[in-house]
Amino acid sequence: MNPFNYSAEQLQAAALDVRRDIITMLVEAKSGHTGGPLSCTDFATALSFRYLNHKPSEPHWTDRDFLFYSIGHVTPVNYSLLAECGYFPLKDLMTFRKLNSRLQGHPHRLDTPGIEISSGSLGQGLSIACGVAKGSKIDKHPRRVFCIMGDGELQEGSCWEAVMFAGHYHLDNLGVIVDYNKRQIDGEVPKIMDVAPLADKWRAFNWQVLEIDGNDMQQILAAYDEMLRHRDRPMVIIAHTTMGKGVSFMEGKAEWHGKPPTMEQGEQALQELGTTYAEWSSRLLAG
């Protein structure tokens, strides 16, 4: 059982806080990825605060669910959720990407409580998730295994080997969420190397597929509820999202994949999110 079990309204409020964390961390660090963390925020918040079976006070709890961020570069959203859940103090977010910080630009499992795998090289997370899901089946353990992937990442052939493996072994304890924001560091995904028709490809490998608006909390909750009920084969939620969601001048722009906002841009973004850099950085430093 999730230790928080937030309502839809609480999840909306938590997602707003996470977006504020992301912008503040990136302004302070002066480096990092912006667009992807913001597009992932809604479905990642719902997972952490309502569906994931975990114990922030005991990161290596034996009976926990496993959550893998195959797109390791979205650490701002990953770290924000870990801190907001209580894995480490909020003030640590202000050390993001700084020398001697345990919050590196790409996650390291030996540095940061709650991180399951060191990641950043794309195309690897689903294979690891498949191994844990298959091992849990062998052990007859009821845990769920979740993996968050990017759409550009699905240009990697290793992803499809893992998709084939999971479908073949009917890993119904495995759920994947694809952040389908259609943007990657080099531009628009369809122009770089199109992954469409995405739903048809997953179905061909014996996966159950749901397509949703990944920034709509009600659709997210309905999809997760269906994922937990589903049996016999793995399920993927193709979450159509907007890169940079929540900040008007970032939305839908590939240029925000891998750069942080300046102080001026960050202030504008935070005001759109209902706060200021001074107010939100003070909240984090006090936490």
Q: Does position 223 have pLDDT exceeding 90, yes or no?
A: yes
Q: How far apart, in whole angstroms, are the C-alpha atoms of residue 43 and residue 47?
A: 6
Report how far apart, in Å, the C-alpha atoms of 10 and of each of 31, 50, 90, 178, 259 are: 30, 10, 19, 23, 30
pLDDT of residue 121: 85
Q: Does position 28 have pLDDT exceeding 80, yes or no?
A: yes
Handedness of CA 282, 283, 284, 285 (dihedral sign): positive
Token pair belonging to 42? 């809604």
Tell me the pairing of strands 208-213 and 235-240: parallel
Domains and CATH numbers, the chain: 8-286 (3.40.50.970)
pLDDT of residue 50: 98
pLDDT tens digit sequence for 29-76: 999 999 999 999 999 999 999 999 999 999 999 999 999 999 999 999
Q: How far apart, in whole angstroms, are the C-alpha atoms of residue 76 and residue 148?
A: 14
Please state the pTM of the whole predicted model: 0.97
Q: How far apart, in whole angstroms, are the C-alpha atoms of residue 245 and residue 282?
A: 24
Q: How far apart, in whole angstroms, are the C-alpha atoms of residue 36 and residue 33?
A: 7
Q: How far apart, in whole angstroms, are the C-alpha atoms of residue 273 and residue 287?
A: 20
